[in-house]
Amino acid sequence: MIKNSFSDKELRKIQFHSEGIVFKFKRKKMYRLWLLTVAKAKNYKIDYVNYVFCNDDFLVKINQEFLNHDTLTDIITFEYTDDDKKIKSDIYISIERVLENAATNGVDFATELKRVMVHGLLHLCGYSDKTEEETLEMTKQENLAIQMLQIN
């Protein structure tokens, strides 16, 4: 289980929002502790991370406008970091994609949401998933991080 070794100010550096959907995100403090702990374990500090939960349409528009992609995706991570070890980011997550991925992968929604959330953070900590080898390492790191957080 994760211990709270972070101040309230540090906890507030991770925020959760919704755009275009009604999404009640529960246990915010526990998720903040978890994400801060993951970043710390990778020798990173979080300056700020905004998680924005949205629908497919909203994320496709972002994908088109900023990345010139016209495809569905479960997550888009924008990094604004100007210091190698201090994370500044907006992470957009399509709840519709998370629901579909959970069904496809035979896991519950909470587990898939954790995977997607930490996936974005791991990208910010230098992990990539462009090659098969990188994807295997990313999945390994996701699984290790999910094991740290024992809540549903």
Which phi and psi (to 5°) does residue 52 adopt? -115, 115
Domain around 135: 8-148
Domain assignment present for residue 3? The answer is no
pLDDT value of position 149: 80
Residue 73 CA to chain centroid, in angstroms?
Answer: 13
Domain assignment present for residue 58? The answer is yes
Angle at which helices 28-41 and 132-148 cross, to 10°: 130
- How far, in Å, are 27, 57, 112 from residue 123 at the CA level? 23, 23, 17
- Number of structural domains the chain divides into: 1
Domain assignment present for residue 1? The answer is no
Question: What CATH number is associated with residue 39?
Answer: 3.40.390.30
Q: What tens-digit pLDDT sequence spans the chain (152 residues)?
A: 576 789 999 999 999 999 999 999 889 999 999 999 999 999 999 999 999 999 999 999 999 988 877 788 999 999 998 878 999 999 999 999 999 999 999 999 999 999 999 999 999 999 999 999 999 999 999 999 999 886 54
Domain assignment present for residue 109? The answer is yes
